[in-house]
């Protein structure tokens, strides 16, 4: 019985793992899949499953973009921007969003807003960029513009998605101060 269960469950686990990666790759989530931490100047390559030099032509832009976001989320903003500078096609909604995130976190809020607006122009239905744009507006004290982004997010994914919840919290917290 246990052998039969293992034979059935192993393919099922593979399907679940692949479908979650596929859903993310096709816009099913805004968070890139978990990647190992690479040393400074390197980037994780999903094909070889190892860290390669940032300058390697073998690493596709998608991996560079995802890893730049991870660096930024880890507080390594300058490294994230340097990695985004290596993209062959830097003008994608995700790359511009992540560039905006890193610059905003470095305190360059107006510059970040510029990148977010470029990203929104490329993909108006990208909830995460609208969340980050709204958070930048909160920093600037423009709660009216942050509320506009909150309404856009609501039309994209409702009021229960993470992007809506996070921006609503940022707006609410700023109103208390």
Task: Tell me the domains of the chain and their CATH numbers.
Answer: 33-90 (no CATH), 109-177 (1.25.40.10)
- Each residue's pLDDT tens digit, 20-34: 333 333 334 455 556
CA distances from 76 to 69, 72, 91, 162 (A): 9, 5, 21, 23
| Strand 42-45 with 50-53, pairing | antiparallel
- Each residue's pLDDT tens digit, 120-140: 999 999 999 999 999 999 999
- Is residue 123 within 8 Å of 133, Cβ to Cβ? no
What's the pTM value of the predicted model, to 2 decimals?
A: 0.76
- Each residue's pLDDT tens digit, 136-166: 999 999 999 999 999 999 999 999 999 999 9
Phi-psi region of 141 (alpha: psi -120 to 50; beta: other; left: phi over 0): left
| Closest by CA position to 151, among listed 142, 141, 139, 163 | 163
């Amino acid at each position: 019985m246990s052998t039969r269960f293992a034979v059935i469950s192993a393919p099922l686990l593979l399907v679940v793992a692949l479908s979650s990666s596929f859903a993310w790759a096709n816009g099913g989530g805004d968070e890139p899949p978990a990647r190992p931490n690479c040393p400074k100047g390197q980037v994780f390559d999903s094909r070889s499953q190892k860290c390669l030099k940032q300058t390697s032509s073998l690493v596709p832009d998608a991996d560079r973009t995802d890893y730049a976001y991870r660096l930024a989320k880890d507080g390594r903003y300058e490294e994230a921007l340097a990695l985004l500078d290596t993209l062959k096609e830097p003008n994608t909604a995700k790359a511009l969003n992540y560039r905006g995130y890193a610059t905003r976190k470095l305190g360059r809020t107006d510059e970040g807003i510029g990148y977010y607006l470029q990203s929104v122009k490329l993909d108006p239905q990208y909830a995460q960029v609208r969340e980050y744009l709204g958070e930048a507006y909160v920093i600037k004290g423009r709660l009216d513009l942050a509320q506009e982004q909150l309404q856009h997010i609501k039309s994209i994914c409702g009021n229960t998605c993470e992007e809506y919840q996070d921006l609503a919290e940022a707006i609410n917290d700023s109103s208390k101060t």
